[in-house]
Homo-oligomer: A and B are copies of this chain.
């Protein structure tokens, strides 16, 4: 939450001018797009006759009904308490998206049939590859951030080269380099370790930057207080600076976790059967890959909602000391 002003704003959606404006805009938008050919038109058949023949009148009638429903919905929701509002709007949006997916005419039985395999093989692989990589990446990131902020020439040079190189090169390239390049130096490495190595190195580089900025955001008064007690660098960093930097670090790190979930699909190029790989392959044979892609997308979404929930719990934990 922002630090809210002590003055409550009036509920915007109950102001007549706002409702009127909203109504007008929606009416205009749906007049511009002809909806008579859609389900909406079908539902209005009793009023407008054959939707496709109804012309401008049908179009207007449909737009009018949509605008009325929408405005009414918004005004009604406006009366609910905050949490209920949020929940209703979420559900409505979700419904809209599901309706949108419906337009792809997906075969549900096929999805149900493949889902267990998608989850047990694909999601599990994706999860463990990402989880291991994230842990390694975090460790790299802390070391990298300290090195990048240090006055030691070697540490700085190596860390900055590292972040530049591994952020600069496409992850795919890094996967190739590690999977195909390391064998040329005499280390034959399996697909999964190669993938994890590539992901950790790449995300470690991104997270180094995040940790660096988090550490820099802490006031120097904290360093002074810590030093004046006699704490050395290690304690100051681990116990004073990093914990305070966490609220700043967590949201972008959450971003990285979530995008790691998706980026781990790049290891499929070297033959790891993770989620995206299965999504593309399972439906291929029967030509139902849209089904698979959408179910996979949903699985990814559920996984990242879990991460988001975890993240918000952690954020709340660290926000304790800021509540007054």
Contacts and interface: CB of A to CB of B under 8 A. Distances in A.
Interface string A265-308: 10000000000100000000000001001101100111111001
A167 to B, nearest CB: 5
Nearest to A257: B167
Copies of this protein in the assembly total: 2
Contact of A168 (B161, B210, B300): B300
The list of the 7 closest CB pairs from A to B, nearest first, reads A85-B153, A89-B157, A168-B301, A213-B251, A252-B252, A168-B304, A173-B297
Interface of A: 1-5, 9, 12-13, 33-34, 74, 77-78, 80, 82, 85-90, 93-94, 97, 100, 103-104, 146, 149-154, 156-158, 160-161, 164-165, 167-173, 176-177, 180-181, 184-186, 206, 209-210, 212-217, 220, 223-224, 227, 233, 247-248, 250-252, 254-256, 258-259, 262, 265, 276, 290, 293-294, 296-297, 300-305, 308
A206 B311 CA distance: 14
5 contacts: A3-B220, A13-B154, A33-B186, A89-B158, A167-B258
Contacts of A215: 2
A258 to B, nearest CB: 5
A169 B154 CA distance: 40
A39 to B, nearest CB: 12
B251 A210 contact: yes
B173 A252 contact: no
Given A158-B89, A258-B168, A252 B220 contact: no
A1 B181 contact: no
Nearest to A206: B255
A176 B283 CA distance: 15
A5 B304 contact: no
Given A12-B152, A300-B170, A304-B167, A217 B220 contact: no
Given A170-B265, A213-B252, A215-B2, A181 B100 contact: yes
A129 to B, nearest CB: 15
